């Protein structure tokens, strides 16, 4: 039995799903997993991509809404943690809702624009009809 040492050519080993991966380990019999995982799922939304809307809402609310709540909190006396939490909820909820509706309307508007671009300009003649 030959054990490859450092600097030796890498040995190809079989992975459980049938693919082969280069084994860089000292012990060539050890199976190395592929470094990139297979995608779990993919989607092709027919309308608005709600996953995108939720991600954009989260990011924009953190980047814009949190500083806005912090600035607005300087105008009110918040002596207890309960008062601070209550203020953050009362002010943060409308900011989140506004951001969510704006992201949804933007996605819907952009979706309608791309749907219009896919349509042929004239219904009278298309390249498939001319053949």
- The answer to whether residue 57 is domain-embedded is yes
> Residue 21 has what pLDDT?
57
- Whole-prediction pTM value? 0.53
DSSP symbols for 3-45: ---TTSPPEEEE-TTS-EEEE-SSSTTS----SSPPPS-----
Per-residue model confidence as pLDDT tens for the chain (131 residues):
555 555 444 445 444 555 555 556 556 565 656 666 677 777 676 788 888 999 999 999 999 999 999 999 999 999 999 999 999 999 999 999 999 999 999 999 887 777 665 555 545 545 555 55
- The answer to whether residue 8 is domain-embedded is no
At residue 14, φ and ψ (nearest 5 deg) are: -80, 140
- The answer to whether residue 29 is domain-embedded is no
End-to-end CA distance of the chain: 67
For the chain, what is the domain count? 1
- The answer to whether residue 106 is domain-embedded is yes
- The answer to whether residue 18 is domain-embedded is no
- The answer to whether residue 90 is domain-embedded is yes
- The answer to whether residue 36 is domain-embedded is no
Domain range for residue 55?
50-117
- The answer to whether residue 124 is domain-embedded is no
């Amino acid at each position: 039995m030959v054990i490859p040492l450092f600097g030796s050519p890498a040995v190809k080993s079989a992975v459980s799903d049938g693919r082969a991966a280069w084994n860089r380990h000292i012990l060539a019999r050890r199976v190395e997993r592929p470094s990139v995982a297979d995608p779990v799922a993919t989607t092709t939304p027919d309308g608005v991509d709600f996953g995108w809307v939720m991600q954009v809402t989260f990011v924009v609310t953190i980047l814009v809404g949190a500083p806005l709540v912090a600035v607005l909190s300087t105008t009110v006396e918040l002596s207890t943690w309960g008062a601070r939490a209550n203020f953050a909820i009362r002010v943060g909820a409308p900011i989140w809702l506004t951001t969510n509706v704006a992201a949804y309307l933007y996605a819907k508007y952009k979706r309608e624009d791309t749907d219009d671009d896919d349509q042929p300009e004239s219904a009278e003649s298309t390249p498939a009809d001319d053949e």
